[in-house]
Structure 1
């Protein structure tokens, strides 16, 4: 299909002038959280670590402090914001394409298919913690749930957002029996070649996510946030953001401190520094995480509509190129920690990993600003739009008239 026919029928991509600036800011902040959690986590608990080294870092105030701050401020807040933003983007796209008389179903399903393929490449060749393919699969579920009434969407979204993860994990635990030894994972990680890892990883991933049921809790967790994001746009809350600033201020003043306190207590219970029951730390985290993410979101929107707008607007360029930045951070993560790259696992401390994450995020932020001064979209965003709309969109910006 030619670009001319797309434009004539109203199936042109959404332009930068149609964007909600608030969503770009939130997406940029979510990226920051993901960078920190992934890099600090890789140094401490996501990858194999010698027990003596783990104990040493646990006893070090600086190293334990880096892990503590990452868990308290960012763990599950970045992915909560990202998943909510995905649902918001879905509803924005649906409303705009249907208003133009375009075939939303064909365009959006093609968009999800393209994202799924990008995610598979990222997962099996570049970054073993990819979520893009899972977002795409759950995007199909969101698509088929779009006819839910607004109240049903809100209620189901809230239920899944708060109890979806523990419910899914419980069901997976009841349905799945037996385990494979993790020794092979440790062998491949410790000294395997890239080719060996690529050949072995798909089977292990399918075991963890499908056979062991690991995807079930995560899927319900994410789908709930998708639904809440779609509901937020459906109710016009972002389009009326300036009008709703007083309400957002009240929400922020409650959600931000409450979320911080709940997450702090949960973390201290998990560290066995406060008394707990078998489930209290998990329950507090499942409640406190989304509340703190809401506090972050409303706080950033308030700053965006204040005299601080210039500061928070620095997050917008990397938010507009979030797909490229996310894949880029995954490549950097694998190269830094895996033996086929620098093999820094066990040598890079959690505190150093946090500095690397912050530095890498700053570099992507500057690169995005430089890139968008010359191009309309990030490199992967451009390819994704091309696949979505079936025609090649304009890439370069027109030079300003003299």
Structure 2
């Protein structure tokens, strides 16, 4: 609670102040601390895959033979990452984004405060600008722009019930898979040398020309990177547009899970664990089969791309929901030092997401230590724990003095046209 008795959201802000990545509830002091902890796990888990964007050629994010796999530990890291990590934590982050937007709009409407939809649009526009700067300066795979674009459509669905939100999210995911399957058919049946054959080979395969170009990009200096990313900004943005339906669907799943009480910690533990077990029992075998499908196709880009971008996505989402149900069940109503530290990292999720990129840039880019292209997959994976450790250390220290993270404060202030106090 604040000094005036106003309920706080899970970010530590009043409901009218909180930006779109936050959620609220009634676990402790008006906050669902377990949900904060879940967000902390999500932002940490994203780092486990994002490290490859900085350390290895882009195709190696999806394809183990593109670069970085030279030993048994490398193959083990790739296999476990594909099944347990890749797109699971990004899906979890998008779910929590959708839940946070639903809470903000519903509370503002219930309190008769401001113009909820107009304010939401302003938040999405500012988030897009932050994501654009992030993409140009640091991260080729920035998701904030995609979240902002998909998030613009969220208010159109929030009149639905919890059940219908879940159904709408599932329908959008199915449409994404069907569209992706059509694209996969074109890629897999394309004649050699045609654009439909060359594109997946370069983006997801081990094409030597593409890998050589990736090495050049990975070792460019800061000025060269800025010029390239500025000139190619809209082309890169265009590659994100096809991901809007699946991202929006994942956000709707998050909003539905908030509405039905799972993310609020209102389910009993047995029910939450049962859901997690049921979803994992479906997702894990399919993900293992998709991994073997990649291997059966000798990791051809025309197969690796559809597997990672389309066919695995519904099962990634299932596993993300299973993770969410498990974490909420474990941490709800149970104080611990681990929960406190994870919750602090989650309350600064936007700042921690951006600072993770800065840490990786300092480790791998030429204007930092310059380790790009010099490490194996397993060594790069180990370095992902550097920003994770830092966010767990600094987040509680920051929140002991400040009300919110610096980028959370900046986002809210620009969107509202005024800046509130950041000191406690």
TM-score, normalised to structure 1's length? 0.82
Please point out which of 16, 23, 46 is paired with 2:58.
Answer: 46
Secondary structure of the corresponding residue to residue 206 of structure 1: helix
Change (3 A) 1:233 1:365: same
Instruction: Say whether residues 1:238 and 2:263 are aligned partners.
Output: yes
- Structure 2 residue matching 1:347: 3-state secondary structure: coil
TM-score, normalised relative to structure 2: 0.78
Contact 1:255 1:291 in 2 (8 A): yes
> Partner residue of 2:106?
95
CA distance in 2, matches of 1:229, 1:54: 34
Is the Cα–Cα contact under 8 Å of residues 269 and 329 in structure 2 kept in the other structure?
Answer: yes
C-alpha contact 2:58 2:214 (8 A) present in aligned 1: no
Deviation at 1:82, TM superposition (A): 0.7
Q: Could you say which residue in structure 1 is the equivalent of 2:6?
A: none
Task: Tell me, in whole angstroms, the C-alpha distance in 2 between the residues paired with 1:107 and 1:319.
Answer: 23
Q: Any gaps of 5 or more consecutive residues in structure 2?
A: 1-13, 19-23, 188-193, 203-208
Is 1:259 aligned with 2:280? no
After superposition, the Cα gap between the structure-2 partners of 1:252 and 1:61, relative to the gap in structure 1 and judged at 3 Å, is same
CA separation of 1:153/1:255 partners in 2, compared to 1, >3 Å: closer, same or farther? closer
Partner of 1:5: none
Pairing partner for 2:409 from 358, 382, 398: 382
Partner of 1:391: 418
- The 2-side partners of 1:96 and 1:87 are apart by 14
1:224 equivalent among 230, 249, 252: 249
**Any idea what the Cα deviations from partners look like across 1:262-291, whole Å, max 9, x if unmatched?**
3223223322399xxx79966762342122
* Cα deviation 1:14-46 (Å, max 9, x = unaligned): 499443223211111111221011114544552
Say if 2:399 is the partner of 1:372. Answer: yes
Q: Tell me which residue corresponds to 1:329.
A: 356
1:298-351 deviations in Å (ceiling 9; x for gaps): 111111136575434431111110100111111222332233333312212222
Q: Is the 8 A contact 1:34 1:79 kept in 2?
A: yes
CA contact (8 A) 1:116 1:136 kept: yes
Distance 1:151 1:295 in 2: 18
Q: 1:13 aligns with which of 10, 17, 21?
A: 17
Aligned counterpart in structure 1 of residue 296 of structure 2, from 265, 268, 272: 272
2:215–2:373 CA contact under 8 A, matched in 1: no
Deviates more, 1:166-175 or 1:54-63: 166-175
Partner of 1:3: none
**8 Å contact kept, 2:57–2:215:** no
- In the alignment, the residues of structure 1 paired with residue 144 and residue 66 of structure 2 have an alpha-carbon distance, to the nearest angstrom, of 34
What is the rounded CA distance, in whole Å, between the counterparts of 2:359 and 2:106 in structure 1? 36
Q: What do you get for the CA RMSD once the two structures are aligned?
A: 3.5
Report the counterpart of residue 373 of structure 2 in structure 1.
346
Q: Which of the pair is proportionally richer in helix?
A: 1
Match of 1:295 in 2: 322
Q: Does 1:194 align with 2:205?
A: no
